[in-house]
Amino acid sequence: MHNFIKAFERNPNGSWTCIAPATFSGPNGRIQVAPGLIVLPGNIFMGIDLAGWLERYYQGQISRS
């Protein structure tokens, strides 16, 4: 997850913008994103609220191991 979150920039409105290609094995399978993707809190992307998940990780609510 640590390398995955590095592929995103956090925006002031709570959204996240992908700035580099990234792949991560998420809770519902592999998540693959391309630069330019913007995910908004509450919107489902590949079966999860990716913005919410990134935010929880960023805030330290999800283990960084």
For the chain, the structural domain boundaries read 2-58
Contact residues for 4 (Cβ-Cβ < 8 A; gap 6+): 22, 23, 24, 31
* 64 has a pLDDT exceeding 60: no
0.75 exceeded by the pTM?
Answer: yes
pLDDT at 38: 97
Residues 9-23, buried b or exposed e (16+ Cβ, 10 A)? eeeeeebbebeeebe
Q: What is the pLDDT of residues 1-46, one digit of tens each?
A: 668 899 999 999 999 999 999 998 877 789 899 999 999 999 998 8
pLDDT at 62: 66
CA atoms within 13 A on the CB side of 53: 19
| Residue 53 buriedness (CB in 10 A; 0-12 / 13-18 / 19+) | buried
